[in-house]
Amino acid sequence: MGKTHKDPFKYRGSGVYWLKHLKAHGNDITTEILKECDTKEDLIYWGEYYSKLWDVVKSKEFANLQNETGDGRDPESVMGEKNPNYGKKWNDEQRKRLSEYRKQFVGEKNNMYGKKRLDVTNRNKKPKYWVNDGNIEKFILQEEYQSYIEMGYVRGRLFARGKN
């Protein structure tokens, strides 16, 4: 389980265990989009929801080392004393090295500089509906609505966020 800004049907992921799995077993996989989130808050909420629902860290069905939060890590795993930089002070040499390293990704040197994701922008402008099958809810394009109804989905969400 994970998130991407890339084409989810082409991008194969980057998790350590997942990449080992692909190397050992090949790329014959399917991708299912559970959610399309417009805000980071929704992404974190639904990532945590499905991570806990399916216990993705312990389950052998998933290659997750930690619960999905949308930013590649469990925030509590690096807070306070758990953070490897906790209590450390960076000296001038360390700061200079980091500054020099980051310069390779600034402006025109950044591989995303000047690019627009027209596929995402155009998709986000289209009308969408929430549908669910009693277990999973999806935010789908209006043009996909009829096919989901035929698969047994109903319009609406499972429960209102924050009311459970």
User: Nearest 10 degrees: CA dihedral of 2, 74, 60, 6?
Assistant: 10
pLDDT at position 164 is: 46
pLDDT at 11 over 60: yes
| C-beta of residue 99 within 8 angstroms of C-beta of residue 51 | no
User: Who wins on pLDDT, 76 or 164?
Assistant: 76
Q: Residue 69 and residue 71: Cα distance in Å, rounded?
A: 6
Tens-digit pLDDT profile for residues 34-68: 888 777 778 888 888 888 888 888 888 877 767 77
Tens-digit pLDDT profile for residues 14-33: 677 777 888 888 878 778 88
Tens-digit pLDDT profile for residues 85-144: 888 898 999 999 999 988 888 888 887 788 777 777 787 788 898 999 888 888 898 988
Residue 76's contacts (CB-CB under 8 Å, 6 or more residues apart) are: 82
* Residue 131 CB coordination number (10 Å): 21
- Beta strand extents in 40-136 (DSSP E only): 128-132
pLDDT at 70 over 70: no
Q: Residue 136 and residue 131: Cα distance in Å, rounded?
A: 8
| Residue listed under structure tokens 């049907």 | 9
